[in-house]
Amino acid sequence: MAETSFDVLIIGSGPGGYVTAIRAAQLGFRTAIVERDYLGGICLNWGCIPTKALLRSAEIFHYMQHAKDYGLKADNVGYDASAVVKRSRLVSKRLSDGVGFLMKKNKVSIIWGEASIDAPGKVTVKASKNEAPKSALGAGSYQAKHIIIATGARPRVLPGLEPDKKLVWTYFEAMIPDHVPKSLLVIGSGAIGIEFASFYRTLGSDVTVVEVLPQILPVEDHEIQSFARRSFEKQGIKIHTNAKVTKLDKKSDSVTATIEEGGKSQALTVERVISAIGVVGNIEKLGLEKLGVNTERGIIVVDQFSKTNISGVYAIGDVAGPPMLAHKAEHEGIVCIEAIKGLSPHPMNKSMIPGCTYCSPQIASVGITEQAAKEKKLDIRVGRFPFIGNGKAIALGEDQGLVKVIFDKKTGQLLGAHMVGAEVTELIQGYVVAMNLETTEEELMHTIFPHPTLSEMMKEAVLDAYGRVLNV
């Protein structure tokens, strides 16, 4: 007889859900995870991972086109769009299969279906339309002392700009195109919008980006986004800020968008449109209203340990609010389950969560921006170092970029770090570690960085903040 009673039951198997399930099993809890679509959730199947596979293909294509800059020859360079998509899907499948292996390894039961919470400790699972993995449990009633909601988020839809999967895409359709459109409009310039704009532009699309706010990449430091914008425009991406798309007129194989900007209206006809105007939490059909779980603006309200207002019910990841990032969900889940176990974990500090955008050039940041520091009237020191002053960057042929750091002038505390350029998504963790360890500027300046590396710029930026920069 299949087991129906667990210590911990997690709804959703995305990064937050499956990592929490593993940690719960490590702590000795009888654990189950409910999934209705695909193991690994959006991130592994339709988000973080497959988009990086697509962007890697675009990056290599770009280098092949510029082979002569490296003393190489590459004639008749081209791409096969279907093969690019196929590689991306195989990468996702490999990782999704890996989640299944991890669940089995850690003795986490998989329940296949769509869950709703009937009462604290009681969950009903309805059958899923998708095929269940072998050995997964099915529809039925289940009990668990602790229920953790990790149902993630889906694309936000605005009236009049509804995706139709053919002409107007969300990130789902944008990842599996049957061809690369000659022209493309991207509505929204957050990480998702800019990554797709970068991907399709590299493959030859005529790309236009429309952003309703004054700057692209709205959460980024103004100086960094300005640098990135100049780079994007140099690549041929057309960018409209303080603008909005008010209407989409669909034809058989094209869309005419009405764009309002500066009090004027203009029409733009493109083959395809990508709607990248954010995401909204999946809080529906979970029984939250019946339970009385507090929600606000499409997310579940939780405390610092992911507890809702209902005993035994928790929420982590995108469904529990911004920043809507996979690594935030994972850490949030760890904190949640360790608190349930009574291990007294440190609450998550959202100011130390790094953000990365994998466009070309890459963008990465952690902590406070310069403009936010000034708005708070903080007394700060700001240091900068350009890629053009770094030997490794020049050798790589990637000499365009910037590293920027912000310190508290009185204490030497690192308040924020912001980067744009090659491989900065791999560099940012150095500053994240420094901030978590409460490292001062003096300790960073005394740290020896290897040469020649891009990471040397991280120290040089710190030196610049204190008038000691060496290589510019």
* Residues 428 and 419 sit within 8 Å (Cβ to Cβ): yes
For 168-277, CATH number?
A: 3.50.50.60
pLDDT value at residue 345: 96
Among 128-142, 380-394, 396-410, name the one with the lowest average pLDDT: 128-142
For 5-154+280-350, CATH number?
A: 3.50.50.60
User: How do strand 355-357 and strand 362-367 relate by DSSP bridges?
Assistant: antiparallel
CA dist 117 and 111 (Å) reads 14
- The two domains 168-277 and 361-465 share their CATH topology (first three levels equal): no
**pTM surpassing 0.75?**
yes
Q: How many CB atoms lie within 10 A of CB 178?
A: 9
pLDDT tens column, 259-303: 999 999 999 999 999 999 999 999 999 999 999 999 999 999 999
* Average pLDDT of the residues in 187-206: 97
Give percent above pLDDT 90 in the chain.
Answer: 95
pLDDT reading at 1 higher than 80: no
pLDDT tens column, 323-351: 999 999 999 999 999 999 999 999 999 99
Catalytic residue positions, numbered: 451
3-state secondary structure the chain: CCCCEEEEEEECCCHHHHHHHHHHHHCCCCEEEEECCCCCHHHHHHCHHHHHHHHHHHHHHHHHHCHHHHCCCCCCCCCCHHHHHHHHHHHHHHHHHHHHHHHHHCCCEEEECEEEEEECCEEEEECCCCCCCCCCECCEEEEEEEEEECCCEEECCCCCCCCCCCCEECHHHHCCCCCCCCEEEEECCCHHHHHHHHHHHHCCCEEEEECCCCCCCCCCCHHHHHHHHHHHHHHCCEEECCEEEEEEEECCCCEEEEEEECCEEEEEEECEEEECCCEEECCCCCCHHHHCCCEECCEECCCCCCECCCCCEEECHHHHCCCCCHHHHHHHHHHHHHHHHCCCCCCCCHHHCCEEECCCCEEEEEECCHHHHHHCCCCEEEEEEEHHHCHHHHHHCCCCCEEEEEEECCCCEEEEEEEEECCHHHHHHHHHHHHHCCCEHHHHHHCCCCCCCCCHHHHHHHHHHCCCCCCC
Phi-psi region of 197 (alpha: psi -120 to 50; beta: other; left: phi over 0): alpha
pLDDT value at residue 280: 93
pLDDT value at residue 445: 96
Give the up-direction half-sphere exposure of residue 39: CA atoms within 13 A in the CB hemisphere: 27
Q: Classify residue 310 as exposed, middle or buried by CB count within 10 Å of its CB (0-12, 13-18, 19+).
A: middle
pLDDT value at residue 227: 98
| Interacting residues of 406 by C-beta distance below 8 A, sequence separation 6+ | 367, 368, 369, 370, 373, 380, 381, 382, 414, 415, 416, 417, 418, 465
CA dist 119 and 312 (Å) reads 10
Nearest residue to 132 (alpha-carbon basis) of 151, 114, 113, 149: 113
> Structural domain boundaries of the chain?
5-154+280-350, 168-277, 361-465
What is the overall mean pLDDT for the chain? 96
pLDDT tens column, 17-67: 999 999 999 999 999 999 999 999 988 898 899 999 999 999 999 999 999
The CATH architecture assigned to 361-465 reads 2-Layer Sandwich (3.30)
pLDDT value at residue 130: 85
* Average pLDDT of the residues in 354-383: 97
The token duo for 204 is: 């030859």
| Interacting residues of 93 by C-beta distance below 8 A, sequence separation 6+ | none
* Average pLDDT of the residues in 308-318: 98
Long-range contacts of residues 452-455, Cβ cutoff 8 Å, at least 24 apart: 452/390, 452/391, 452/392, 452/395, 453/392, 454/387, 454/390, 454/392, 454/393, 454/421, 454/422, 454/423, 454/427, 455/427, 455/430
pLDDT tens column, 154-173: 999 999 899 999 999 999 99
The token duo for 56 is: 């890697």
| Interacting residues of 281 by C-beta distance below 8 A, sequence separation 6+ | 151, 152, 153, 298, 299, 300, 318, 319, 320, 321
pLDDT reading at 369 higher than 70: yes
Query: How many angstroms separate the Cα of 163 from the Cα of each of 4, 198, 272?
Result: 39, 21, 11
pLDDT value at residue 2: 63
